[in-house]
Structure 1
Amino acid sequence: MRSFKVLALCLFAGIPVSSLFASGTVWSEVVNNVAYIHHDKAEFNCCPDMVFEMEKNGNFIDIYEKDKCTNPCLCDCEFDFTHKLEGLEPGTYTAKVWESSQCDDKYSLSGSTVFKIEAKTDLPSNQSLMSECGGWTGTGEHPFPEMPWLSSERIVINDVKIEYMLPENASPEITIYNILGVKIRFFSPGPQSQGIHSFNWDTRDDKGIAMPKGVYFVRLEVLGFARSLPLVVLR
């Protein structure tokens, strides 16, 4: 299992901004009125010394990811970051993620995302986690234990085992789409217990017809979360 670093978010102001060196994809999800801001495939040096800070101004949130460059390595790597925001007031929010990966104290905008909070939960609380080099996306791991994960080999010859983890008892739904977004296979096992489960896809659709070579996507939906992975069928 990979290990994760846990860091607190705090207020931060006076950020010098650069338009260069932004990387990765920023997206969000809200479950039980807790917001999760994701920054996938962020490029930093292989052994960063990361700090995460936040500035909130009304319904606008800026999250800053900085490598302190204490002991930089002579290589680059992709990391995944997840920022968990609790206790926000009801409303629609815009979150921007900024990264500083060049040891120059300048930040680049990695991306922005919009999310909505329906009701306030607890007192404001923020937490940030980062993966090891290579990221946790699609590895069968996830930083927060309340979140499900989905894992599979990406290259498929004849069939493939797809694993997923349920953080609690639930009824998952798993759908496989082709590259055009057309649903070709649906898997609904009914109520399942907390833990790791799996199923095999034989690269056929719901009618038993073998699918041609190409790119497909498997999507897990459960407990308000959604996880997707690409699969490349080679046969």
Structure 2
Amino acid sequence: MDTFKHLSSVDVGSFIEQKHNSLNYVSWVHAYSELRRLYPDSTYEIVRYPDERGNFVLPYLRTEIGYFVEVAVTVNGDRRSSVLPVMDEFGGTLFEPTAMDINTSIQRCLVKAIALHGLGLYVYAGEEFPMMFPDGDHALPKKDSDEMPIPVYKDLHAIQGPGGCYYVMDLQIGEKIIEVAVVGELMQLLDEIGLSQGDPCEVYYEEIAGKFVATNIQKAS
């Protein structure tokens, strides 16, 4: 069984807690402890952003739509990162967060990054039991290209607002143009993969505060 299947099948029921809004969650202490118990060589990284002098020391990114944090977790050489807005206890965006607000969001983001490897992922789906996988590899059927058009890279531009600057990538999907925010180390990844206008690509994203925020970008094969 591969790492994702293994971690997805782990029962974290004894660690599940509930917020006052009735949403279930697993605290970062239990999630990280269980991950290290199962995979002792696992590591995590809090992504840093530049300060006013250009030094990458800040554990948050300030934008006009709020503050963001990013945490990457590596298990068996597989690195997965999660981006999370800095929110209050009710899930509302904080435009003037305290140091404690940012620290709490980093802890939440760590749990989400761990969940991307499978551990506790079913909790986010609102399911009661861990995922059960049949023996052997079972790939989902690929979408027909006529049914699901491949995104095409069109442009990248900076947006300056009262809360700061961030970058937006324009993608054409069929007849539509959508905007996807690009933050953190994904800006460097864009340079590395060398996307040019008109190149087909694969973009993975989360919807945060009504905006699409990229979590991974690849050239389409």
Q: Same fold (TM over 0.5)?
A: no
TM-score between both structures, scaled by the size of structure 2? 0.29
Structure with the bigger percentage of strand:
1
Structure with higher helix content: 2
TM-score using structure 1 length = 0.28
